Structures are given as structure tokens and as C-alpha cells.
Amino acid sequence: MTAPKLALSEQAAADITADVVVVGTVQQDGDGFTLAPGADAVDAAFDGSLVDVLTSLGATGKAEEVVKLPTLGKLKAGVVLAVGLGKQDPTSEQVRRAAGAAARALSGVKRAHNLLSQVDLQAAVEGTVLGAYTFTEYKSDAGDGPVGRVDFAAENSKENKATLKAATAIAEAVSTARDLINTPPNDLFPASFADRAAKLGEAAGLTVEVLDEKALRRGGFGGILGVGSGSSRLPRLVRLSYKGPKASKKVALVGKGITFDTGGISLKPPANMEEMTSDMSGAAAVVASVVLAAKLKYPLEVIATVPIAENMPSGTSYRPGDVLTMYGGKTVEVLNTDAEGRLILADAIVRAGEDNPDYLIETATLTGAQLVALGKRTAGVMGSDDFRDRVARIGQAVGENSWAMPLPDELRGDLDSRIADLANVTGHRWGGMLAAGHFLKEFVPADLEWAHIDVAGPAYNSGGAFGYTARGGTGVPVRTIAAVLADIAENG
């Protein structure tokens, strides 16, 4: 990841020395559009006719619309880039998406001055960093690269400096998760992922523990070992611990780290299987989140428990019909080896529970049923009622769409096994995401406030770029986790 340099600027529009000035446009209820706050001086340089000129170039104010206009000497900057915010009274997410669209359009530009910060500084910063994101490590020609520097029009106050720092750190954490997700599985496998997570943790001053296959076997982590048994790349469990100043609450984070998922013996169809490089998105998110907590010095204790395995078919693979003894002693009959994420998560959840946390947040690309129920851009949140709703509400507030989902009692009995404590899937296709939530609940300590975020769809964008979201790994739900941690730090 190569991110632009960011700064605050109180410079007047007429004196801006940037190559491009970014202004926002806002749709009116009827026809036409207006300029977003902060664009007055730019409009004055065009003698009050900027809206008319942009209209003649096809601008409408539609969300994420980008129109470029040469200044012809009216400003020191050579180009005005107008980006649509969409409907009136723009939300933070509208600003974030507009800033992302603008950042993508600024590829190759040396310096830009962004006036969207006059609407929402934090959203403008986050959208710019994320919109400028590119993953070019495996490209022989990386192209123009992202915009080199972006100055945000804002008073250089202590409060704005803190906002700039926090927004940059959050966006960089998302980018870290994206980098991990986008790294191909021949380079990101359990041992290498564990090494990268450990290095990130050590650099942030975290306490790091890595269990290899021998330590997993001694500890009785049957779920992780079972799923990883078919691969020559043996599994790992990573623990990253942070204790902030005056920590008042302890939060456990757990994320699914399947570095590649073939489905195992229950082999997936070959179409689009390459996207299963993203099956470790949950793990990437929690690694990035605990590092972020340390960078922002949250007054919390945060412990990430990250199970990592590769699910492959071979002569040593676990099979449908096998019974695994999980960490903590429960037994699970395997009916489908492609329902592997819940098996490694179960081990990690039990281990995380031994730390006696106040809250548990775990996330995974868990079920295809999540996409059927909620689509590609909305995560499903399950768990204890109050905390589930709190996490879903916060996710919506930060622009990572999420929806609270129930755990209907009648589905739990469908996980009963003939020979073990429970089976890893039901015998039908109904409520697959909810049944997976029931499975995980069996391993959550009683009375622990917990939430599971199923990001099977939102974690990976297989289509074209939009807003601040590039093609490939999205980094969802890092911003949700960050906001939940901040909320816990403030409100308990």
C-alpha cells in the first residue's frame, strides 16, 4: 500500500498551490445542484458561475459523479474536480464515498486540495485514503500510483489535528487488512500469515504468541487441526494482546483465518474459487483492529485470537463423518468439510473466553447464506441481543452496512448429532447463516456479551471499484470494530 501524504491547510482558495482543487456538488430536490460548503472562494474565482459551467459539462450532483474543469488561470491550481455528494444534507458516508471517488480520479496527481473537509473532515480523510488504495505488489507496471499529497481545508486546530490522526490511522488499518486479503495464497499461507501478524503486532508494541501445529496438538485444538489436516501448510493460532492506559474493559476479538478454502473433501465448484483467497478476511480485520487499538491508545484491554488454516483435499484431509474433539472438550460430527470456518472459530472462541473478557466480537466470511439473505454489501450480525444490536447500529453509522439477525430456537435442534455433541451443519439449506450462529453460540461462555459479524459478501468486492472501495479485499469490518471499541471505551 502506498498512501498519499495528508495535511490540514488554512490556505485561501485563490492562493492554493495544488494541481487540483476538489469541490463537492449536492443534488437539489428538483433539477440542478448546488455547491457543497467550502466552495465559495472557488466559485468567486469563476465570478459566481461555477455551477453554470459545471452544468454545461454535464454535472448533476449525482453521488460519486466526477467532472473536471480547467481553471484557465482563474486559480493557481490548474484543475477543479467536482465530485457529487448526492442528495441534500450529505451524511458522513456520502462524503466518504465522494472523497473516495475523487481520490481514484486523482491517480497520478502530485498534489490536491480537498474542500470536502468543510463538510466532514473525518469522512473526507477516510474516503481519500481508502479511495486512493491500490494493490500493485504483483504488477510489473504499477501505473501512475495514487495522488501524492492531499491538503484538507480545515483550521489547524488541536481538535482537527486529532481527527486527522485518528481518521488516517483507521483508514490505514483498513488498508492493512486489504493488503493481507489481496496477497495470493501461495504467499499468504498459515505460517506466513502468522509471521506477518506477529511482525505487525511487535511493531505496535503488542504481546505476541504464535502456536504452531505441535503446540496446537498439545493444547487440544481439534477444530483447527482437523481443518488444516489436508494441507502441507500446517495451521497456526496467533494471539495479539494490547493493554491500554487505564483499561476499564476487556474485549476479545476473534477472526476466521482460512488462507484458502477449496471446501476440502466437500469440494467447492471451480467457478470463482479464486475468490476464496479472501476467506481469511475476518482474521485480517481483527489483526488490523488490535494494532489500531494500540496506535490510538484506547483505554481498553484488547486480545485478538486468530486461528489460521488452509482447507485442502488430500489423503490426510478430515472427512464427512469424522468426529473432532474441540478445544475445551466438546465433540463435533463433521457432515460437510466446507463448513470449516465455524470449526476453527469454535476453538478460538473457547480460548478467548478463558481470558474472561467483558465483550467478544468475532468476524468471518462464514456462510454463503449471508449473501443469499443480505447481498454482497450488508453484513449479518448475530449474538446476544443487546450487543448484537449495538454492533449492527454502529456498523450502519460508520457506513459498513450491517443488519441484526435472529437466532431462532427451532434451528438449534437441527444441529443435533447422532454420535457427537453437535454437528457442524444442519441437514437442510434453510437459515444457513442463523444455524452457523447457533453453532458458534455453543462455544461462547454463558452470559458473555458477544457479536458475530458475517462478512461473506462485504469482505470482497469482485466487481468494479465504487466510492472508496477498490476491487478485491475491502477491509470490512475494521471500521465497525474500531467504532465499537471506541464506544466501549467511552460508554462501557
Would you call 118 helix, strand, or coil by DSSP? helix
Among 30-34, 181-185, 229-233, 434-438, which is the least confidently predicted range?
A: 30-34
Crossing angle for the helix pair 158-182 and 121-131, to the nearest 10 degrees: 30
Active-site annotation, residues: 268, 342
The reported pLDDT for the residue numbered 141 is 86
User: Tens digits of per-residue pLDDT, 245-260?
Assistant: 999 999 999 999 999 9
Q: Where are the alpha helices (DSSP H) in 378-450?
A: 385-397, 409-412, 432-441
Number of C-beta neighbours around residue 422 at 10 A: 19
Displacement of CA 332 from its chain's centroid (Å): 30
User: Tens digits of per-residue pLDDT, 398-449?
Assistant: 999 999 999 999 999 999 999 999 999 999 999 999 999 999 999 999 999 9
Rounded to whole angstroms, the Cα distance separating 322 from 336 reads 10
Rounded to whole angstroms, the Cα distance separating 309 from 236 reads 7
Would you call 191 helix, strand, or coil by DSSP? helix
User: Domains in the chain and their CATH numbers?
Assistant: 5-145 (3.40.220.10), 172-491 (3.40.630.10)
Angle, alpha carbons 415-395-195 (nearest 5°): 75
Rounded to whole angstroms, the Cα distance separating 48 from 355 reads 62
pLDDT of 88 higher than 90: no
With beta carbons less than 8 A apart as the criterion, state whether 107 and 101 touch: no
The reported pLDDT for the residue numbered 143 is 80
The reported pLDDT for the residue numbered 12 is 81
pLDDT of 479 higher than 70: yes
Would you call 187 helix, strand, or coil by DSSP? coil
Q: DSSP code of 18?
A: S
User: Tens digits of per-residue pLDDT, 359-407?
Assistant: 999 999 999 999 999 999 999 999 999 999 999 999 999 999 999 999 9
The DSSP line for 336-388 is -TT--HHHHHHHHHHHHHTT--SEEEEEE---HHHHHHH-SS-EEEEESHHHH
Distances from the Cα of 89 to the Cα of 28, 218, 327, angstroms: 10, 58, 51
**Three-class DSSP labels, 44-109:** HHCCCCHHHHHHHCCCCCCCCCEEEEECCCCCCCCEEEEEEEECCCCCHHHHHHHHHHHHHHCCCC
For residue 320, with 0-12 CB atoms within 10 Å meaning exposed, 13-18 middle and 19 or more buried, which class applies?
middle
pLDDT of 469 higher than 80: yes
Q: How is residue 225 written as a grid cell?
A: 487441526
Number of C-beta neighbours around residue 416 at 10 A: 12
Angle, alpha carbons 112-116-120 (nearest 5°): 135
Average pLDDT over all residues of the chain? 97
Rounded to whole angstroms, the Cα distance separating 485 from 474 reads 20
- Mean pLDDT over 261-281 rounds to 97
Q: How is residue 86 written as a grid cell?
A: 448526492
Q: How is residue 445 written as a grid cell?
A: 461462555
pLDDT of 460 higher than 90: yes
Q: How many helices (H) and strands (E) in the chain?
A: 15, 21
The reported pLDDT for the residue numbered 242 is 98
- Mean pLDDT over 90-102 rounds to 98
Rounded to whole angstroms, the Cα distance separating 173 from 253 reads 15
Please tell me whether the overall predicted TM-score, pTM, comes out greater than 0.95 for this model: yes
Burial string for 96-117 (b: 16+ CB within 10 Å, else e) reads: bbbbbbbbbbbeebebbbbbbb
Among 11-20, 229-238, 429-438, which is the least confidently predicted range?
A: 11-20
